[in-house]
Every structure is written in C-alpha cells, then in structure tokens.
Amino acid sequence: MTKLLPAPDALVGKRLDMALSKMLGMSRAKASELIADGRVRVLDRTVTKSSTLLSGDLIELDQPDLVDEVEPVADDMPVVYEDEDVIVVDKPVGVAAHPSVGWTGPTVLGSLLQRGTHITSMGAQGRQGIVSRLDAGTSGLMLVCKSDLAYKEMRRQFADHEVVKIYHALVQGNLVQDRATIEAPIGRAKVSDFRFTVTPAGKEAITHWDVMERFGSTTLASVNLETGRTHQIRVHFSSIGHPLVGDHMYGANPELADRLGLTRQWLHAMRLEFRHPRTHIWTKVVSSYPADLRKALDMEREERQKRDE
C-alpha cells in the first residue's frame, strides 16, 4: 500500500533528498536513506537522492511506515495577506510555528510548503522564513518571509522592535490600572524546560497593556509587545497575579476555564503592523476572534449584564 504526494511548487527544482526532508520533517540523511532503500520513489521515472524534483512529479511513499511521518496539514489556516515577499496567516490553535522535537501536529511552515507556497531558504533548517512565532496554544496573525530580501529586512525590523504586535488577552481578576507597562526580564524556569519565569538573569522583556473591557472576575486587555520573548504575555501577567484565563501552566483557575468552555489560554494575535520590506509602505493586517475565544467572551458579557440588571 502506498501514498502519492504531488511535488509542492515551492520545492520544484530542489534535490529530491532536500525536498523530501522538508516535506516529511526529517533530516536530509534520513531522506537519502529512504530513497536509497526504495521506500520513496517518483512515479514513472527512476531517481536518486540527487535527482531534481520536477513540476508535476508524484512522490510515492510506502505505507504504513512513512505515512505516519508525513506532517499533517493545517487546512483551516487562512491566508490574510500575501505578496511576492511575505505571507501572513491567521494561525489556528493547535498549530506550531515550525517542527520541533516531540511535536507531531501541523506547523505553519510545513503547511505552507505542502500547499506549494514558496518560502525563502534563509534561516535555520526547519525554521526557514520565520522571523517571529506563536505558541501552538495561541491563535492569530503570524508572518513568514517568502523572499531573501524580506527575511533580512523583517528579521531586522523584529529585532529592532519596529513591528507593532497587538494581542488581545483575557486575564483573571480585575486589573487595577486602565493601562500600564510590565518591564521584567524573562528566562527559562528551573522547574521545567517548557516554562519561563521572571528572573534577573533573563532577557529584557517589555509588555504594554490597555484595558478594553472589565467583567469583574476577568479583564479583557489589548497588549502591545515591545519585545518578543517566549511566553512573554503569559509570564508577565502571571507575575502580577493575573494569569491568562485557561493558562494552567502559569497558574490559571481551571474551574473558570471549564465554565467558559476553554481548553487553552485566552490569547489571540490580533493586529500586525510593519513596513513592507520592498515597498517600505506601512502595512497593517487585522484578525478576528476564533469561535472558542468569542464564545467565552460572550459568556462573560452575558454574566456582566445579569449582574447589572
């Protein structure tokens, strides 16, 4: 039993072993081994690991061994903006930015490549074109670079904090101030490789927030990230005693999440503004709430209305 995969447009012209490693999320050495063993073939022609992948090629994968290695595609990931240089997707929850050890679900990069989107080869292997990322449990806008020019310029803009990144977050409790800034360095927590914490030994992290709506037990805030540390919003709000609703890793109340029907943190990358790398035109991209976050927010509004009646 075999599975046929069409050659992605973005990988046409590449060596077969290189293309296969990107399609299956494996090392190039492993891809070469599979080709040499005959477990991966190209329909209707004889190939070696150095053969060039052609437009219209059908790649034949043995099953059941290999089919489980093929990264699933995020079919429900909308493209919000795209041109020859950049593509901005509205990443659903449950999709990682790029392949990583232990992750078996879909990724933004893998899904774009399998759709045939051309992505620059600049960047670390498995992270090509990515200049910033979102956690798998966070939804919203994410930019990926298609051209070398875009990768160089957008990497600079993100590094120099020129990109405007606006998130909406529902946090536990009633934030005392209408607006404030959290400036506290963030580093990896000693208790876990997956958790981060505020620590003097960490990297600079600056988070600005403005209250949008108050519900009593929760507060909806607009968050502007000046820096982009891993888990920055989650760590910063937890550090001031207001963890994101549904964020059990950083101290959220599970009963509140259950009441609102949430299975992840209430956090969405809502707006992205940047200077276009080629035209230098200021570009703004906006998202909307996914169904689970919108439902939780509606429930909080209904509860507030009942209390006010």
Supply the residues annotated as catalytic.
135
165: closest CA among 289, 280, 282, 273?
A: 273
> Crossing angle for the helix pair 16-24 and 28-36, nearest 10 degrees?
110
Are 221 and 181 in contact by the 8 Å Cβ rule? The answer is: no
| β-strand pairing of 139-145 with 267-275 | parallel
Are 159 and 197 in contact by the 8 Å Cβ rule? The answer is: no
Q: What distances in angstroms separate CA 135 from CA 95, 96, 98, 138, 265, one per listed residue?
A: 8, 6, 10, 5, 10
Distance, first Cα to last Cα, the chain: 64
**Encoding tokens for residue 300?**
């909080």
What CA–CA distance (Å, rounded) separates 8 from 72? 15
85: closest CA among 274, 286, 271?
A: 274
| The Cα angle at residue 245 between residues 139 and 305, in degrees rounded to 5 | 105
